[in-house]
């Protein structure tokens, strides 16, 4: 498997930990793609035997070491990143301790999918933080989904754990975890000519190599620990972080795709002056990813709203919209969502939608 040189360097720094204080951290965790194989004596069929059977990881409960493709018993596991993955059975977990900078914001990026039950959940914890990721919705019907989870480091060493809190009749049932990477994030600040933090979505989680389908930002992300710095992911479903390498992006190198209709919204809380009038500008378009049709993005700020229709021909076109709102308090929430659901023309199982970029709020003199 081809690994970018920068990832190798970051991986080296990650495992040695020596230069971390001064160095920016991005890349796989130790054996983050699970391609460093366990010793044959540490495996019973596919089940890993003991706490240290998988190099660089600590295991608990029934963890299987999986090769992608057809499985005995008729199941098929898609492994998008390399060949191997782990499967977390009933109440099983895998952990890794790593060196980080206290106070810094990080995002974990990982490939995860459910294997048998509809209601499988992956719990990610980096104490004292923890979050449950429902895997019920398959956003990409082919390669499995890639998610991000953000956390703020409380000390210079953190223990990252992926846990299956579920109990199914078949103890092997549970989420498949295919690759795990980390990236340090730098939360952007509002500027004099824009009150919005991270307005063009340029700061976001690591994209896995081979990950051509974007990174899902799970729902219920607080702005202080969001993997998309500054932004809150509200509601029930994910928003997708997409990059210029695989999608058409209006401005810069990344944007967000509103893939789950009204079930998912992206929001930010701005500092405003009550009774002052502001102008909100944003860009709506399509990512040139086979997502066609009549789209609509709804924007909300204080008591004002705007519906922006956009007819996607799947050519990577975009339009700029703006409206004025009057702040009613010292904090104003701006919110965006897609009015409709869309699926890709070439794959009706994959959710897609309008993209949002370049959000700007300035006060009107
Ligand atoms: Ca952008």
**Residue 154 pLDDT:** 94
**Residue 212 pLDDT:** 73
96/83 Cα distance (integer angstroms): 21
304/187 Cα distance (integer angstroms): 28
176/163 Cα distance (integer angstroms): 11
Element (H, E) at 304: strand 304-312
208/111 Cα distance (integer angstroms): 9
How far apart are the CA of 260 and the centre of ligand 1, in A? 20
**Residue 211 pLDDT:** 64
By C-alpha distance, which of 12, 31, 159, 163 is closest to 100? 159
Count CB-CB contacts under 10 A for residue 177: 21
By C-alpha distance, which of 178, 157, 37 is closest to 96? 157
Domain with CATH 2.60.120.200 in the chain: 5-184
309/35 Cα distance (integer angstroms): 46
pLDDT in tens, the chain (365 residues): 344 444 444 444 444 444 444 467 899 999 999 999 999 999 999 999 999 999 999 999 999 999 988 888 788 888 887 899 999 999 999 999 999 999 999 999 999 999 988 889 999 999 999 999 989 888 876 667 999 999 999 999 999 999 999 998 999 999 999 999 999 999 888 998 999 999 999 999 998 876 678 999 988 777 789 999 999 998 789 999 999 999 999 999 999 999 999 998 999 999 999 999 999 999 999 999 999 999 999 999 999 999 999 999 999 999 999 999 999 999 999 999 999 999 988 877 889 999 999 999 999 97
The SS3 assignment for 95 reads: strand
How far apart are the CA of 320 and the centre of ligand 1, in A? 13
Helices (H) and strands (E) in the chain, counts: 1, 28
Q: Decide if 325 contacts 332 (C-beta within 8 A).
A: yes
Domain at 5-184: CATH code: 2.60.120.200
The owner of tokens 């869309």 is: 342
How far apart are the CA of 248 and the centre of ligand 1, in A? 10
How far apart are the CA of 317 and the centre of ligand 1, in A? 14
How far apart are the CA of 16 and the centre of ligand 1, in A? 34
How far apart are the CA of 182 and the centre of ligand 1, in A? 21
Q: In what order do the strands lie in the sheet with 304-312?
A: 232-235, 264-271, 331-338, 293-301, 304-312
**Residue 16 pLDDT:** 41
Domain with CATH 2.60.120.260 in the chain: 187-363
**Residue 358 pLDDT:** 98
**Contacts (Cβ under 8 Å, ≥6 apart) of 145:** 111, 112, 113, 135, 138, 139, 213, 216
CA 187, chain centre distance (Å) = 16
**Residue 27 pLDDT:** 93
Residue 161's alpha-carbon distances to 21, 86, 354, in angstroms, are 23, 13, 34
169/158 Cα distance (integer angstroms): 33
**Residue 71 pLDDT:** 86
Architecture of domain 187-363: Sandwich (2.60)
217/209 Cα distance (integer angstroms): 18
Tell me the sheet residues that pair with 257.
240, 355
Q: Decide if 336 contacts 356 (C-beta within 8 A).
A: yes
How far apart are the CA of 249 and the centre of ligand 1, in A? 7
25/21 Cα distance (integer angstroms): 10
How far apart are the CA of 167 and the centre of ligand 1, in A? 41
Torsion of CA 19, 23, 26, 32, to 10 degrees: 10
């Amino acid at each position: 498997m081809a690994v970018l040189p920068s990832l190798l360097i970051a991986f080296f720094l990650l495992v040695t930990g020596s230069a971390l204080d001064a160095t920016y951290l991005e890349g796989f965790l130790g054996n983050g793609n699970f391609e460093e194989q366990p010793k044959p004596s540490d495996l019973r069929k596919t089940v890993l035997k003991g706490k240290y059977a998988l190099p660089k990881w600590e295991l608990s409960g029934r963890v299987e070491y999986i090769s992608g493709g057809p499985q005995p018993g008729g199941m098929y596991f898609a492994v998008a990143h390399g060949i191997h993955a782990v499967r977390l059975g009933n109440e099983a977990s895998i952990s890794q301790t790593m060196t980080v900078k206290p106070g810094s914001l990080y995002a974990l990026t990982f490939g995860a999918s459910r294997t048998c039950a509809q209601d499988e959940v992956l719990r990610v914890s980096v104490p004292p933080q923890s979050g449950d990721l429902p895997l019920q919705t398959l956003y990409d019907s082919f390669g499995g989904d890639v998610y991000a989870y953000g956390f703020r480091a409380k000390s210079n060493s953190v223990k990252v754990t992926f846990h299956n809190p579920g109990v199914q009749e078949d103890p092997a049932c549970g989420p498949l975890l295919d690759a795990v990477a980390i990236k340090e994030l730098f939360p952007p600040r509002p500027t004099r000519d824009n009150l919005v933090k991270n307005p063009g979505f340029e700061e976001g989680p690591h994209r896995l190599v081979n990950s051509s389908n974007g990174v899902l930002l799970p729902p219920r992300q607080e702005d202080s620990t969001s993997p998309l710095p500054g932004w809150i992911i509200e509601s029930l479903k994910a928003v997708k972080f997409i990059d210029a390498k695989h999608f058409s992006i209006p401005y810069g190198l990344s944007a967000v795709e509103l893939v789950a209709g009204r079930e998912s919204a992206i929001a930010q809380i701005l500092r405003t002056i009550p009774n002052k009038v502001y102008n909100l500008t944003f860009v709506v378009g399509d990512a040139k990813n086979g997502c066609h049709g009549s789209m609509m993005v709804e924007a909300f700020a204080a008591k004002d709203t705007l519906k922006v229709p956009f007819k996607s021909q799947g050519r990577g076109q975009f339009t700029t919209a703006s409206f004025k709102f009057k702040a009613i308090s010292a904090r104003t929430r701006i919110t965006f969502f897609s009015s409709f659901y869309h699926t890709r023309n070439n794959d009706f199982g994959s959710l897609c939608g309008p993209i949002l970029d370049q959000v700007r709020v300035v006060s009107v003199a």
